[in-house]
């Protein structure tokens, strides 16, 4: 790869957020049946929103639009952080799965903050 970013698929933050989506889907598969339309559904919507907003923002073509959609992705990441914690406190996932997923979420969140800051500083 030449380092040139041609599409959202070239962004590491997008790639990691897709990986995060798969991890959350796998985790929520083990939730109690009664949570399928509740917490599991909310977590899945939030996690899918992250790479979706990254790709939509990148496709818009302007730094301002990209930053706006990255802010929305960051909001979804924050929402997911809370939902993960609730799932852990309800014992819907084990500690190691929580730590692994939360670590990936933290990485994605940090990457989003850095990109947002760079975009906003470059005007």
pLDDT of residue 7: 86
Q: Is the pLDDT of residue 89 over 60?
A: yes
110 Cβ contact partners less than 8 Å away, ≥ 6 residues apart? none
Judge whether residue 70 has pLDDT over 60.
Answer: yes
pTM: 0.93
Instruction: Please give the CATH superfamily to which domain 9-122 belongs.
Output: 23S rRNA-intervening sequence (1.20.1440.60)
Residues 96, 81: Cα–Cα separation, whole Å: 15
Please provide the distance, in angstroms rounded to a whole number, between the alpha carbons at the two ends of the chain: 27
């Amino acid at each position: 790869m030449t380092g040139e970013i041609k599409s959202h698929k070239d962004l590491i933050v997008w790639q990691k957020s897709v990986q995060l989506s798969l991890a959350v889907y796998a985790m929520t598969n083990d939730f109690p049946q009664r949570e399928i339309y509740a917490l599991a559904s909310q977590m899945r919507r939030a996690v899918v929103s992250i790479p979706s907003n990254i790709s939509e923002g990148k496709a818009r073509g302007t730094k301002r639009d990209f930053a706006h959609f990255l802010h929305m992705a960051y909001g979804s990441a924050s929402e997911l952080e809370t939902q993960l914690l609730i799932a852990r406190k309800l014992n819907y996932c084990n500690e190691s799965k929580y730590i692994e997923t939360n670590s990936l979420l933290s990485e994605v969140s940090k990457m989003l903050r850095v990109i947002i800051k760079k975009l906003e500083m470059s005007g």
